[in-house]
Structure 1
Amino acid sequence: MIGTGIQFTVLSSGSTGNATIVRNKDAALLIDAGLSAKRIDELMKERDFTGDQLEGILITHEHSDHIRGLGAVARKYNLPIYANEKTWLAMEKAVGKITPEQKQVMQTGDFLSFGSLRIESFGISHDAAEPVGYFFRDGEQKLSLATDLGYVSDKVMQSITDSDVLVLEANHDIEMLRMGRYPWNTKRRILSDIGHLSNDTAGEVLSELLSKKLKRTYLAHLSRDHNMMELAKMTVRDAMESRGCFYKEHEFKLCDTYYDRPTPWDAIGEA
């Protein structure tokens, strides 16, 4: 039996595949399906969860590390897929055959409700057709997911403000990326306003967001080639402190995500 409020687990995060489950007492949703259906089932099983408990799948954008297993999972569990129209146009061939009822258009800025769980999408900046992030509400509780974004606009800041828990991209260390093996065109894309958020920028964002309400931030979508979790945490802390934003671990925590295993269930109402 699920308690009151929002719970979530990041099943996998990174360029090899992304998937997250968000649930409350009324519904459970999969956000992105960027791994094989078999692997998603394995990761769900590690968290004592099965696909037949899902109400649907929300998609952030059409890149393969977010939709690789989408069609197979949707067909296996007969799930509706929610995405905006431009994302549907960009990913429809990759999804494969689904029923008309499974194709649900949720335009950017729209909201869905499943009982007490309310979901709203917001536009982000990334090199995709019409990428989005999501935030989830249950009463006063708020969880926000914002990854795959080149920069954080005023609209994004507005959307993720007042979160209790935030899943935020910290993709790369700038110097590691600049010195890395990627061709310059790829590096330039990652560093651009339609690329990915650096550790430094994640710290800048958190220095503006930190309040008594924000309890935890999960650093997500880390590059395996150009980042490390401890480096990301250190850089984020330094960036926050350089802007006069100091915090105590018992008041606010930076949390890990993983590419190869799920995070523990996080109940937002708990300390």
Structure 2
Amino acid sequence: MSMYLSSIASGSSGNCIYVGSEQTNLIIDAGVSGKKIECGLNSIGLKTAEMDGIFVTHEHSDHIKGIGVVARRYGIPIYATQETAQAILNTQSVGKIPEGLIHIINSNEDLHIKDLTIHPYNIPHDAVDPVCYTIMNDQKKVSIATDLGNYNDYIIEKLSDSNILFIEANHDINMLQVGAYPYFLKQRILGEEGHLSNESCGQLIAKLSHSALEHIVLGHLSNENNFEELAFKTVQMEINALCDYNADELNMFVASRKEHSKRIAI
């Protein structure tokens, strides 16, 4: 049984990740336009109409911007926690969601769609009830970990034994500290419910690395406080400092803010 992942868009301006198998097609978040989602899916031989569900991590606009358009056009089920679902319905820019499309999920409770098992888990972020997801098929496991201000043993446990790890490398701490953002925003990003820095990302990967981890994707990079080469090199440096192997041995790349990625498979 194969599983697949492709980043349609990842960053502070919009997020959408495709995860699927031979039988099932899902997207995690719809924070870009319906057209961009369709183009990204077309690039890997799929269509938006073929999606079996949209799983929402939280209600911030860069994760739900396109969800109303996609839901109305294709009638795709939306899965979110009770509080996140209510926040989506209260977001005027999303527009009306057709009745019956929103399905309520609970953190730490498995959900089964065809051959995939989706497991939501809580994350520390400044939203009403943020979650991320692990998706499993037989013995294969894909994990998403973005929009989290820190990590703990609970999150490490959720992400352990992943074969694909999509993980946030949001900002370079120095770029953020000396940049143009107002003080309150800097504190929010650096806080316990903000975003993972490049350094923290590398430290988390070092704790999760194992022989069956086949692909690592660095995502959700800040447009103002990071850039791809810096994120990649900093994460590599942290891994090299903490692990007894060279980070060059890992199959790792950075998901673009603007362009869809290649499809990776396990």
TM-score (norm: length of structure 2): 0.96
Among the aligned pairs, what percent are the same residue? Answer: 36
Alignment partner, residue 185 of structure 2: 186
1:87 to 81, 84, 88: 84
Of residues 63, 66, 83, the one that matches 2:63 is 66
CA contact (8 A) 1:207 1:245 kept: no
Matched with 1:204 is: 203
Task: Find the aligned partners of 2:125 and 2:185 in 1 and give their Cα distance.
Answer: 14
Deviations 1:93-128 (A, max 9, x none): 224323332010011112211222111000000000
User: Retained in 2: the 8 A contact 1:60–1:83?
Assistant: yes
- CA–CA distance in structure 2, aligned partners of residues 111 and 100 of structure 1: 24
Correspondence 1:42-53 to 2 at 5 A: 42-53=39-50
Aligned equivalents of 1:131, 1:106: Cα separation in 2: 12
Change in Cα spacing, 1:120 to 1:232, as seen in structure 2 (3 Å) is same
- Contact 1:219/1:255, CA 8 A, preserved across alignment: yes
The one of 8, 19, 27 aligned to 1:11: 8
1:17-36, aligned counterparts within 5 Å?
A: 17-36=14-33
- State how many pairs are aligned: 264
In structure 1, the partner of 2:259 is 261
Between the aligned partners of 2:239 and 2:68, the Cα distance in structure 1 is: 40
Residue 150 of structure 2: aligned partner: 151
Contact 1:35 1:68 in 2 (8 A): yes
Structure 2: which 5+ residue stretches go unaligned?
A: none
1:126-179 per-residue CA deviation (whole Å, 9 max, x = no partner) reads: 000010110011111100001000001211110000001100000000001101
Q: Which amino acid aligns with 2:152?
A: S
- Mapped to 2, the partners of 1:159 and 1:185 lie a distance apart of 31
* TM score, norm. by length of structure 1: 0.94
Distance of 2:248 and 2:217 partners within structure 1: 14
Q: 1:248 Cα shift?
A: 5.6
1:141 matched residue in structure 2: 140
Q: Which moved more, 1:162-171 or 1:207-216?
A: 207-216
Q: Secondary structure at the match of 2:213?
A: coil
Q: Is the 8 A contact 1:26 1:114 kept in 2?
A: no
Alpha-carbon distance between aligned partners in 1 of 2:258 and 2:237, rounded to the nearest angstrom = 27
Letter in 1 for 2:219: A
* 1:44 CA displacement: 2.0
Deviation at 1:49, TM superposition (A): 1.6
In the aligned structure 2, how far is the partner of 1:19 from the partner of 1:62?
13
Measure the CA separation in 2 of the matches of 1:122 and 1:245: 30
**Does the 8 A contact of 1:171 with 1:222 survive in 2?**
yes
2: CA distance, partners of 1:234 / 1:134: 26
Contiguous gaps of at least 5 residues in structure 1: none
Cα offsets for 1:41-87 (capped at 9, x unmatched): 22222222211111111000000000000011011111110000011
CA displacement, residues 203-223 of structure 1 (integer Å, 9 cap, x when unaligned): 111111111111221000001
